[in-house]
Structure 1
């Protein structure tokens, strides 16, 4: 950041997009956690819980899709660095208040750049997979709330979203 004005690290002085050079940065332990949800009809949630979706195990398949997506982030987001992730975890839990499923993903590595995009990609693809696998039963599902919850490591330090933060 320059002064109090935020800057975009992937945009050059004349507006061109570029990949940030992280070669001079120190390797540090880094992690990021993101979250999101899929809101659905209670009957759809029950169908998923009971394992009766036409396409099979929604939770298991969606978890695997999220892990695979985190590993492919650099192929999906143009200016992301390919990373050697040491851990990707995806948790999917029922939330009767939605009703639906809440998704949390955590990505970790020791490296020169953060893993926020990998955690966010894991959540996004997990939610999309839940939608895909259950859409025959419920086309009214809603995906939302995808956001970074926390991150640690690197020059910018630790971050944790305030409760109720935007």
Structure 2
């Protein structure tokens, strides 16, 4: 499991507002290119995001499902990107005064990506998730800024 942390200069509720708006995922999740649909119950357990991954014209349509949801602190996902496979992803929000420490944990669950040795896989996930958390922070901090 690859784990990465970032302090976000926004409340857990502000960060959760970004996570719970499925239409925003391509803005912060590295690799997500576009949203095709978001289930009405998102982010309730069992609901799905219908997204595309990759770069046009080589886009792959797939889904991400909610495994567990405990607002505003935990969101566990199963992200699909076949043919590479599926990943288990967990976002944890830990309030720190007016700020929030966001922890993302990710690892390949099934498929070709699972065959990549962990010492090779982890640095790639660390880079990807570092950028994902940077983008998430920018969105949440902007939402927290006065108009």
Give the TM-score category using the shorter length. 0.3 to 0.5
Task: Flag the structure with higher strand content.
Answer: 2
Larger radius of gyration: 1
Q: Relative contact order, CA 8 A, sep 6+: which one is greater?
A: 1
TM-score, normalised relative to structure 2: 0.41
